[in-house]
Amino acid sequence: MPDQAEPLRRMIQEKMVFTSPLRTRLVAVASGKGGVGKTNIVLNLALTLAAQGKKVAVLDGDFGFSNIDILLGVKPEYSLQDVLDGKITLSKALMTGPYNMRFVSGGAGIATDDSRSQMAVSRLSKELQTMDGEFDQIFIDFGAGFGALTSEMMRLCDELLLVVTPENTSVADAYALLKMMTVRGSVPQVYLVVNRVPSFVEGAATADRFKLVVGKFLSIDLKLLGYVMEDTAVSRAVNRQIPFIIGEPQSAVAKCMHQLAKNSYSDLIPSMIEGGINEHGIKAFFKRFFNRNG
């Protein structure tokens, strides 16, 4: 017997066939431990890609401590919370930043209980579908921690951009996050960024160690996206509310962003065209959403 979601499912399947092969890469940005540099990295990486002509959006999914607007020195009119509450559509909530990068701030106090987060996932899924093909990449910057909403959303994305620092606690918490995800179900392709490295040698040592452990104990084939140097330009950018990629484009950390941007589109990352039309992007997100719900 067809269930209530059947008409919607059919509509989406039909759309999958008839819409253009444009696809938007959905990238969840996460870490185990907080404060490792996720928001600064995703914002500056998104700006780097946008400056190169890519269409990029950043959704601030850190509902407790939203701060992408603070890093950009703007006052947001709407938040992702308003989108999840159905007050406004995602496309209307998106603000336009430098280089036409689009973004929406998080807002505070989202429900973390299961029933409301389920509703939030459904609403965001619906909103994301309206954006398919409009962007090359949509980054969702999740806060630290691992609530029900976060875990659901991260699982539905194409890629998990995992940020660690060389500190043992950061690496251990990132491992715990991946382990928790594997226990709860599937894990998207994981790309690792090692932030705050004093040297590339130390970054490589952290990456190698982490890759080995998650490969051996979690059977996850983690790929390295790159390293980001420890650089005082980051805290200066935070204090001045001007992203370092704009305020200090010659800084070591800005150069690292260019490398990350390059790696994002190198053959490190599976080609979106060859990768199978239904396996990436917002359509794939939907597919996984329905599969997950049986």
Binding site residues, ligand ATP, CB under 6 A: 31, 34-40, 62, 65, 143-144, 195-196, 228, 230-231, 234-235, 238, 253
Cβ-based nearer residue to ligand ATP, 231 or 248: 231
Cβ-based nearer residue to ligand ATP, 40 or 117: 40
Cβ-based nearer residue to ligand ATP, 207 or 228: 228
Cβ-based nearer residue to ligand ATP, 225 or 253: 253
Structure-block tokens of residue 20: 């253009």
Angle at 82 between CA 105 and CA 28, to 5 degrees: 50
CB of 120 to ligand ATP, least distance (A): 19
Cβ-based nearer residue to ligand ATP, 61 or 188: 61
* CA pair distance 201, 142, nearest whole angstrom: 28
CB of 247 to ligand ATP, least distance (A): 14
* CA pair distance 68, 182, nearest whole angstrom: 29
Beta strands 223-229 and 159-164, pairing class? unpaired
Phi, psi values for residue 224, rounded to 5°: -90, 120
CB 228 within 8 A of CB 196: yes
Which of Mg ion, ligand ATP, none has residue 231 at its interface (CB below 5 to 8 Å by kind)?
ligand ATP
Which of Mg ion, ligand ATP, none has residue 196 at its interface (CB below 5 to 8 Å by kind)?
ligand ATP
CB of 62 to Mg ion, least distance (A): 5
Contacts with Mg ion by CB under 5 A lie at: 38-39
Cβ-based nearer residue to Mg ion, 163 or 282: 163
Spatial CA neighbour of 220 closest among 263, 261, 177: 177
Which of Mg ion, ligand ATP, none has residue 249 at its interface (CB below 5 to 8 Å by kind)?
none
- Ranges of beta strands (E only) in 221-294 are 223-229
Which of ligand ATP, Mg ion, none has residue 37 at its interface (CB below 5 to 8 Å by kind)?
ligand ATP
Which of Mg ion, ligand ATP, none has residue 40 at its interface (CB below 5 to 8 Å by kind)?
ligand ATP
* CA pair distance 126, 131, nearest whole angstrom: 9
Structure-block tokens of residue 131: 């954006």
* CA pair distance 263, 270, nearest whole angstrom: 11
CB of 205 to ligand ATP, least distance (A): 17
* CA pair distance 162, 42, nearest whole angstrom: 11
* CA pair distance 41, 49, nearest whole angstrom: 12
CB of 16 to ligand ATP, least distance (A): 34
CB of 290 to Mg ion, least distance (A): 30
